[in-house]
Amino acid sequence: VKVTKETVAENRTHLVQAAARLIREKGVDGVGVAEICQAAGLTHGALYAQFPSKEALAAAAFDEAFEHSFSKLTASAQKNGASLKSYLDFLISARQRDNIIGCPLTASASDIARRDEALSSSFAEGFERMVDAIEAVLGRNNGELGSRDRALTIVAAEIGAIAVARAIAKSKPALSNRVLTAAHRVLGSLEGEQAPSRSAKRRKT
Amino acid sequence: VKVTKETVAENRTHLVQAAARLIREKGVDGVGVAEICQAAGLTHGALYAQFPSKEALAAAAFDEAFEHSFSKLTASAQKNGASLKSYLDFLISARQRDNIIGCPLTASASDIARRDEALSSSFAEGFERMVDAIEAVLGRNNGELGSRDRALTIVAAEIGAIAVARAIAKSKPALSNRVLTAAHRVLGSLEGEQAPSRSAKRRKT
DNA sequence: TGTACATCAGTGAACGCGCGTTCACTGATGTAC
DNA sequence: TGTACATCAGTGAACGCGCGTTCACTGATGTAC
């Protein structure tokens, strides 16, 4: 049944969004194409009119999920002043841990290493964007630690903290919460002192 | 073919070790029972004389891998003085990233959340042991951050750093290395100052 | 604007395949005597 | 110690199942005239 161009685009969007949600929830191997297509309101055969394979859909879903998550992050952080604390409030929280359609970085970190290079590239790009965003709100000095090193560590640590918190949520919920609050507090301490801004310097002289 | 009790025990060990290696490498879903049994020198049917299911073997493999990895960690760290740096040298390195039979915490963090509670418990136990080991070598004071919070964060961050380094190794090897060195340096800064020991106090008075 | 028809997104049955698991069978082990 | 036999770890064919993918077909769309 041929459909309008509009419908084609809508169907593709539904497909990608359904894939993003289900893959985040169950993993790439944990969800079938039939289930994804059904969630998108289509039959499983329809997928192959839009994508050459399940893996290609997964890559598109990953990009989509990252875009969505990143825009929510920056919106939330900027509303609250774009400080390191505002980012951490969003990223390291029970809400993020329990969120079905949360950040794809945290959902599939250890999965990615075993998949196509396309997914590795997607992941790396998303990771770098996140690191850039964090670095932008860090002070320049923190002992001998540069802002880039701290930003890289904060993002990697956030990913680890959420992954751990999710992994142990079933068996040790209290410890899971503790990991989140500890990581939030400790990573927050890496903000560093802001080097005097140019306007502040000018005021002094 | 009935075999001696010794052989039974050996076969079981081979089975668990092969499973630990292959699951770490390919993930629980990425490796089949036939492949595991073949690697252990058995046919696939033999598994069910020892374990009720693949998932049960996976749990045993996880415990085994953790035990093995933890004993190597403590041995290596104690040889080098059991400081935070000696732990980080072992845990956050290219060697650890590329190691096939590395720490199971890092291999399957994001996998665990989607599996049985048995695996979640195993993971939580391993995580806590690691946190205890790290906390034992931390100084008591580091600004307002308690040693428990810092230890929890260091282990979670280590897991995240290795997961990220593995995920992006294929597409951005330089960035992968940078994540490791950054995490090593920044987490090392969380060691904290040692509160004066009792003997030192006594010397003062 | 109205008509004829080529296009192609979507359908759903069917495909081969590999999976985890089962089971009748084998034959050396380990035990009872 | 020697013999008879029950045990059961291991074998490998077979099972049902769900997977990703293919394909002949459908029928509304969108275009050519």
End-to-end CA distance of chain A: 74
* pLDDT over 50 at B94, yes or no: yes
CA B121 → C1' C24, Å? 38
According to DSSP, the residues that pair with B193 across neighbouring strands are B141
Answer for B194: CB within 7 Å of strand D: no
Q: Are B38 and B11 in contact (CB under 8 A)?
A: no
Confidence of residue A106 (pLDDT cuts 50, 70, 90): confident
Q: Are B179 and A136 in contact (CB under 8 A)?
A: no
> What pLDDT does A93 receive?
96
Answer for B33: CB within 7 Å of strand D: no
Q: Does B55 touch chain A (CB under 8 A)?
A: no
* pLDDT over 70 at A3, yes or no: yes
Contact A179 B152 (CB under 8 A): yes
> Which chain A residue has its CA at the smallest distance from B160's CA?
A160
Most A-contacting residue of B111, B158, B164 (CB-CB within 10 A), to test interface: B164
Query: Mean per-residue pLDDT for B168-193?
Result: 96
What is the sign of the dihedral through the CA atoms of B165, B168, B174 and B178? negative
Confidence of residue B195 (pLDDT cuts 50, 70, 90): low
Query: Mean per-residue pLDDT for B10-39?
Result: 95
Q: How many CB atoms lie within 10 A of CB B127?
A: 23
Which positions ≥6 away from A101 have C-beta within 8 Å?
Answer: A20, A21, A24, A65, A68, A69
> What pLDDT does A202 receive?
52
> What pLDDT does A113 receive?
87
Measure the CA–CA gap between B202 and A147, rounded to whole angstroms: 41
* pLDDT over 80 at B85, yes or no: yes
Burial class (CB in 10 A: 0-12, 13-18, 19+), A205: exposed
Query: Mean per-residue pLDDT for B35-61?
Result: 96
> What pLDDT does A23 receive?
93
CB-contacted nucleotides of strand C (7 Å): 7-14, 18-24, 26-30
Most A-contacting residue of B22, B141, B186, B189 (CB-CB within 10 A), to test interface: B186
Side chain identity at residue B169, one-letter code: A
> Which chain B residue has its CA at the smallest distance from A108's CA?
B110
pTM, two decimals, is 0.90
Measure the CA–CA gap between A152 and B160, rounded to whole angstroms: 11
Is the model more confident about B115 or about A39? A39
Measure the CA–CA gap between A41 and A43, rounded to whole angstroms: 7
Is the model more confident about B34 or about A25? B34
Measure the CA–CA gap between A135 and A137, rounded to whole angstroms: 5
Answer for B3: CB within 7 Å of strand D: yes
Q: Share the mean pLDDT of chain B.
A: 91
According to DSSP, the residues that pair with A193 across neighbouring strands are A141
CA A7 → C1' D26, Å? 17
Read off the pLDDT of residues B109-141 as tens digits, 9 standing for 90 and up: 888 888 888 889 989 999 999 999 999 999 988
Q: Share the mean pLDDT of chain A.
A: 91
> What pLDDT does A163 receive?
95
Q: Does B111 touch chain A (CB under 8 A)?
A: yes
CA B32 → C1' D17, Å? 16
> What pLDDT does A87 receive?
95
CB-contacted nucleotides of strand D (7 Å): 7-14, 18-24, 26-30
Most trustworthy range by pLDDT among A71-75, A117-121, B95-99, B187-191:
B187-191
> What pLDDT does A195 receive?
59
* pLDDT over 90 at B99, yes or no: no
Residue B21's closest CA among B135, B125, B99? B99
Q: Tokens in use for A76?
A: 């939330």
Q: How many CB atoms lie within 10 A of CB A47?
A: 22
Which positions ≥6 away from B170 have C-beta within 8 Å?
Answer: A113, A117, A120
